[in-house]
Structure 1
């Protein structure tokens, strides 16, 4: 009697995943803050160049929201709190 070869299956331990990434911080449109202020916040807090900060601000204005940062959950919590501290409407969530 011969034995059929056994197929090797990749163990779950061999699959490296980072369950904490990615998370995102979203800034939502609001009727209160000026577009120039939102651009300034993105430049000041994140260090984005004016062009990137302006594009994100326009996404907030025209699309209703923009992803302003991505990373580990703890950092997104901090970024969300910072945006709220500047008076912006911000949330964080696990990226889909």
Structure 2
């Protein structure tokens, strides 16, 4: 359960270092639990906007304003990221959203 991610920082290799060694200096091995994931809610033609907002307040503990903002993002943009964390936690959120009748998926969070 390890993932290789490239760091975006620049590293100056010591003089005389081959290019393949220099490339490996930019890599860092991360455990799967360190890779950030997100829960994405998708727009659907079934649920009322007031219900979606209520679900966000109830399940994620969002304020009324944050829940309304996320619900409007789902409505206007077709999707909204409502949580970020380790994959297991995001999968639990997605499962809960499915139980509420919402369309949700897990995605790798942008770094």
> Normalized against structure 2, the TM-score is what?
0.71
Does residue 45 of structure 2 align to residue 31 of structure 1? yes
Aligned positions of 1:1-96 closer than 5 A = 7=14, 17=30, 19-20=32-33, 21-96=35-110
Please say which structure displays the higher CA radius of gyration: 1
Whose RCO is larger (CA < 8 A, sep 6+)?
Answer: 1
Q: Which sections of structure 2, spanning at least 5 residues, go unmatched?
A: 1-13, 15-20
Q: Which sections of structure 1, spanning at least 5 residues, go unmatched?
A: 1-6
Which whole-Å CA distance do the structure 2 matches of 1:16 and 1:94 have between them? 16
> Normalized against structure 1, the TM-score is what?
0.81
Runs of 4+ more than 6 Å apart: none
